[in-house]
Amino acid sequence: MQHGHPDYLELEQALGRAEAVAGAAEVHGLLCGLLCAAGRLDERAWLGQVFADVDNRSVAFQQGRAAVQSLAAWTATALNDPVLGMDLLLPDDGQPLAERAAALGEWCQGYLLGLAAGGVSQDTLMTEDVAELIRDFTEISGAGFDVDAADDDDEVAFTDVVEYVRVGVLLINDELQPLQAAPRLQ
């Protein structure tokens, strides 16, 4: 994993070997949703969501857990660091657009699950902007993305949607977790 940035394929393989309930994109979305909702991660809670009913003594589970813990640490830092710049963990541009589009849908699904698990509901006080973003993410998670492999317009549209989701997540995070002044030493 270069520069601390998680590698999608490595994580996908580690999760598969560990018999996780979701793939890399959905797990990253889940972590982002939990962080936006709660401002912190309850490791036991999210580990339980990622690895339901697995043998936690197996080497594959230990490696999968370590990979997800590393992802969680990176995500928590990236989400609140304007310089590092949070991005969505998706298959790289060399993969077929249909695969990347499916992963984006899974990412949004995980994100919405994370928000809900973190206590964000329709009753949560939120601005109309945030409510609209959540509706859009719901649409992206359910609709998928109809793509034609030979169409460059689809590639551009996909890139635009990924950027929309990325910026939307940062906006939701700012809304739900306003930056608090650094504590002063007394």
CATH code for position 118? 1.20.120.740
Q: Would residue 65 count as lying in a domain?
A: yes
d(Cα 46, Cα 55) in Å, to the nearest integer? 16
In a domain, 181, yes or no: no
Alpha-carbon radius of gyration of the chain: 17
- Residue 115 counted as domain residue: yes
Domain hosting residue 80, numbered range: 2-176
| 89 domain-assigned | yes
54 lies in a domain? Answer: yes
- Assess if residue 85 is contained within a domain: yes
Tallying the residues shown for the chain, one arrives at: 186
Q: pLDDT truncated to tens, each residue of the chain (186 aa)?
A: 334 678 999 999 999 999 999 999 999 999 999 999 988 888 888 888 898 877 778 899 899 999 999 999 999 888 877 676 789 999 998 999 989 999 999 999 999 999 998 888 777 777 888 889 999 999 999 865 566 555 778 888 899 999 999 999 998 998 888 764 444 444
59 touches 103 (CB < 8 A) = no
What is the pLDDT, as a whole number, of residue 144?
56
Q: Which candidate, 28, 12, 8, 30, places its Cα nearest to that of 20?
A: 12
Q: How many CA atoms lie within 13 A of 35 on its CB side?
A: 22
Taking the complete model, does pTM exceed 0.75, yes or no?
A: yes
Alpha helices in the chain (DSSP H): 8-17, 24-38, 43-50, 59-79, 97-117, 128-143, 152-176
Number of domains in the chain: 1
The answer to whether residue 48 is domain-embedded is: yes
Instruction: Give the pair of three-digit tokens for residue 70.
Output: 């590393």
